[in-house]
Amino acid sequence: MIYRFMIGNYPDSYWFKYDSTVVASYKFIECKEIQFNKPLVFKLEKKVSEKRLLSYDIYFSDGPVFISPRLANLLSNNQDFLHDVQLIEATIIVNGRSYSGYKVLNILRLISCIDMNKSEYVPILDDYPDGPKKFYKMVFKENINEQFCMARCEESEGRIVISESLRQFFIENKVKGIDLYT
């Protein structure tokens, strides 16, 4: 079984602004390794409780998703995960303070996982019917034989899915920031 990688109980005030001058945001949906030599930077514009914010493990931005040093450390020995995801150094700026050790998730796997016959959708652009789609109802395929931990959906590259084993890993390690129960 596969699960959609979704935000769970994540406050709006915790959305980061991504500095896309180093690596453009679209590069993260290409499922290719990205090479450069300095950390990506994310900044939180609003004043927030650092203690509460830093208790999360997964963070969302107007660019790529990134994870806490705690979760990066837990995943650093998971070879199946590292086969599917490149972890890229990141620095976050919160209330004028800089924090390092964060990692951007650059997903390298692309799998066909949405049952287009059972899903309900329309093309976003009428002139490009095979292009990006707006889903009203998304149904995942039942029998996906491909082994993976985390991947992008071939039918909609902006969507991220996780495997049952990665979902269980997140539950066992009490990962905070995503919905693991839908």
In a domain? residue 123: no
In a domain? residue 54: yes
Q: How far apart are CA 119 and CA 65, in angstroms?
A: 26
In a domain? residue 75: yes
| pLDDT 10s digits, 131-159 | 888 899 999 998 888 889 999 999 999 89
Q: Which residues contact 19 (CB under 8 A, 6 or more apart)?
A: 40, 41, 42, 43
Buried b (16+ CB within 10 A) or exposed e, 115-146: eeeebebeeeeeeeeeeebeeeebebbeebee
Is the confidence at residue 60, as pLDDT, over 80? yes
Is the confidence at residue 182, as pLDDT, over 70? no
In a domain? residue 120: no
Is the confidence at residue 3, as pLDDT, over 60? yes
Is the confidence at residue 83, as pLDDT, over 70? yes
pLDDT grade for 181, boundaries at 50, 70 and 90 = low
Is the confidence at residue 9, as pLDDT, over 60? yes
In a domain? residue 49: yes
Q: How many domains does the chain have?
A: 1
In a domain? residue 127: no
Write the single-letter amino acid at 97: R
Range of the domain at 171: 2-111+144-176
In a domain? residue 137: no
Helix or strand or coil: residue 118?
A: coil
